[in-house]
Amino acid sequence: FKRLQTWLNNRAFVAAHGCQSPPRFSRFQNILQQIKAIKSHSWLDMWVERYATIAKTFESATVSINPIIFTIDPENIKAILATDFDKFELGDRRRKLMYPVTGPGIFSNDGTAWRHSRALIRPNFTKMLISDLSTFETHFQHLLTALPPADLHSGFIEVDLMPLFFRMTLDSASETLLGPTMAFRSQLDPPGSASLRFMEAFDYVQKKIHRRNILDRGYMKPFGLIYGLWRATKKDEFEEACTTVHSILDNMILEFLRRPVKVLDESRKYVFLEEMARNTRDPIELKSEVLNVLMAGRDTTAALLTNTFFMLARRPDLWARIHTETEESFGGKTPDYETLRNMKQVRNLLSESLRLYPPVPFNARTATENITLPRGGGTDGQSPIFVKKGQQVNYHVYCLHRSPDIFGPDADVFRPDRWDDAGLRPGWGYIPFNGGARICLGQQFALTKASYVLVRIMQEFELIENRDAEPEWKEQISLVTKSRNGAKVALKRRERKN
Ligand code: HEM
């Protein structure tokens, strides 16, 4: 009877709001295509194709029992993230995904708990920005130290920059979060050290997290149960990796809490943990928020750098342009924050990299009550659609950023100059850092760090060449998406006279 009543209520809601159904895509076809696309590492492009052939908004299901709404309509995305923000949440799926690794915190909480986390963390971000350029330099120097030697004949250093960027962002993020004495030194430390054990465990859980999560959903639950029983007889590497991550951080936080509270001194280097500890001394809360921010900020920035150098290695014209801008802005001088912010070519390059290769290429929210989205229903796709309480809505930023109606007929071409066009105003059509109330807190921090590293590499090296046989960018999807082939390049050092 309760089900019938809900059904009747839903019908009345649909009629009252003039909702029409969006196109449906068969579950069977959906699953088959996805398996094929995952195997060929073209899962994201498969979605681009779907939105182009089905519609900007459609409904389908995979292993979930209820259909999911998929959309790349900026009006719908705006409704989810801003206008009707309070009627959507990250939901259980995100919590199940994140909690074993990070515990509750800003990146995984909803409602009041999220508001609390955001209020605790937000004030720190402005301070983080200004004070951190010297930290970037320290870790950039470590990256230079970790480079292999140059070939004696050609003078080129052949290297995959991706692992170096991932180590550098781990080290520099940990320094900002935990302070210089407790920071990781994964670029320099030997195998078996806490830095490397933490990094390996942290990378492992992120790689496995989606696969693990899929067995906990809809029709997959029975298989998950059987798998769980089978796994119980074996060593659970995922849980072991989570334990490693937690125990290393637990020790650090406890050591930190044993120290006397420092007096506020504006001239001292900014440390996230010290600032947070002014509001809470709860070791679990401190650890969870540190892990949440690390999870949000480390891989994303490293992926942005990797993807950008993947392109630079294939585009000598862009390399030359950034080189000239760097020379004109700084010569051999260490970059400063204000000048960095005003580098047009650097800004265009990073914007274009984030457009075509967003590190967070898809995202999801769950409706907390019956609600409508403004577009996608009916034959012309212009009518509102009904989203049932508890229904999931997925939006694909990767596909949104390739929409020809927003970015023009060359939307899938890497062309940083497009950002000079005053007519290009993508609004909700460009959201690499998300939008609305949950917009990324680290956006400026990430862009400053990426610009800094870009400029410093330009200052140190005069030439870049591609050393990867694969011509096209291929996806590597884990919690953050990056170039599957890394950024295999050859770099030639510049000789400065002064
Ligand atoms: C290129 C680099 C980055 C990209 C592309 C990026 C992207 C994003 C996206 C898409 C979200 C929204 C996630 C969601 O609500 O589902 C987000 C949230 C967040 N990001 Fe970033 N991020 C980057 C760097 C950073 C950095 C460096 C930090 C911190 C140092 C950071 C801290 C956060 C935090 C704390 C949130 C959660 C905000 C909230 O839910 O209130 N991010 N980021």
| Burial of 147: CB neighbours in 10 Å, binned 0-12, 13-18, 19+ | middle
Q: pLDDT value at position 208?
A: 82
Amino acid code (one letter) for 493: R
d(CA 498, CA 191): 38
Domain boundaries, the chain: 103-358+401-493
| pLDDT grade for 214, boundaries at 50, 70 and 90 | low
Distance 259 CA to ligand 1 centre (A): 30
- Of 122, 300, 440, the one to substitute when testing ligand 1's pocket (max ligand atoms within 8 A of C-beta) is 440
Residue-wise pLDDT for 435-477, tens only, equals 999 999 999 999 999 999 999 999 999 999 999 999 999 999 9
* The most confident of 123-137, 280-294, 304-318, 471-485, by mean pLDDT: 304-318
Q: Name the percent of the chain lying above pLDDT 90.
A: 69
CA atoms within 13 A on the CB side of 230: 6
State the DSSP code for 266.
T
Q: What is the mean pLDDT of residues 283-288?
A: 92
Does 97 sit in the ligand 1 pocket, CB within 6 Å?
A: no
- Quote the mean pLDDT of the chain: 90
Ligand 1 nearest-atom number relative to CA 365: 16
Q: Is the per-residue pLDDT at 264 higher than 90? A: no
Which superfamily does CATH assign the domain made up of 103-358+401-493 to?
Cytochrome P450 (1.10.630.10)
Residue-wise pLDDT for 76-108, tens only, equals 999 999 999 999 999 888 888 888 888 888 888
Residue with the smallest CA separation from ligand 1 atom 18 is 440
**Torsion sign across C-alpha atoms 392, 398, 403, 407:** positive
Residue pair 210/217 in contact (Cβ under 8 Å)? The answer is no
Q: pLDDT value at position 275?
A: 84
d(CA 81, CA 93): 17
| pLDDT grade for 420, boundaries at 50, 70 and 90 | very high
For residue 196, give Cα distances in angstroms to 94, 187, 202, 290, 437.
27, 9, 10, 18, 35
Residue-wise pLDDT for 1-27, tens only, equals 888 998 999 999 999 999 999 999 988
Residue-wise pLDDT for 318-331, tens only, equals 999 999 999 999 98
Q: Is the per-residue pLDDT at 266 higher than 60? A: no
Ligand 1 nearest-atom number relative to CA 176: 30
Residue pair 387/69 in contact (Cβ under 8 Å)? The answer is yes
State the DSSP code for 494.
P
Distance 173 CA to ligand 1 centre (A): 13
Q: pLDDT value at position 119?
A: 87
Residue pair 489/309 in contact (Cβ under 8 Å)? The answer is yes
Q: Is the per-residue pLDDT at 270 higher than 80? A: no
Q: pLDDT value at position 131?
A: 58
**440 labelled binding-site residue:** yes
Which of 112, 86, 70 is CA-nearest to residue 391? 70
Does 182 sit in the ligand 1 pocket, CB within 6 Å?
A: no
**Torsion sign across C-alpha atoms 39, 40, 44, 46:** negative
Residue-wise pLDDT for 141-187, tens only, equals 999 999 999 999 999 999 999 999 999 999 999 998 898 888 999 99
d(CA 263, CA 426): 45
Distance 438 CA to ligand 1 centre (A): 9
d(CA 125, CA 296): 13
Query: Which conformational region is residue 446 in: left (phi greater than 0), alpha (psi within -120 to 50 degrees), or beta?
Result: alpha
169 or 233: which leads in pLDDT: 169
d(CA 31, CA 37): 10
Does 107 sit in the ligand 1 pocket, CB within 6 Å?
A: yes
| Distance of alpha carbon 22 from the chain centroid | 29
Distance 32 CA to ligand 1 centre (A): 32
Neighbours of 384 (CB within 10 A): 20
The continuous run of DSSP H or E covering 58 comes out as: strand 57-60
**Hunting for tokens 């206008």 — which residue is that?**
83
The continuous run of DSSP H or E covering 4 comes out as: helix 2-16
d(CA 441, CA 126): 9
233 or 274: which leads in pLDDT: 274
**Torsion sign across C-alpha atoms 305, 311, 313, 317:** negative
Residue with the smallest CA separation from ligand 1 atom 7 is 433
Distance 291 CA to ligand 1 centre (A): 13
Distance 359 CA to ligand 1 centre (A): 10
**pTM check: above 0.90:** yes
Ligand 1 nearest-atom number relative to CA 397: 10
Residue with the smallest CA separation from ligand 1 atom 6 is 433
Q: pLDDT value at position 212?
A: 67
Does 395 sit in the ligand 1 pocket, CB within 6 Å?
A: no
- Of 88, 300, 428, the one to substitute when testing ligand 1's pocket (max ligand atoms within 8 A of C-beta) is 300
Residue-wise pLDDT for 42-84, tens only, equals 999 999 999 999 999 999 987 677 899 999 999 999 999 999 9
| pLDDT grade for 227, boundaries at 50, 70 and 90 | confident
Three-state DSSP class for 328?
Answer: helix
Is the ipTM of this structure higher than 0.95? yes
Residue-wise pLDDT for 360-396, tens only, equals 999 999 999 999 999 999 999 999 999 999 999 999 9
Q: pLDDT value at position 47?
A: 96
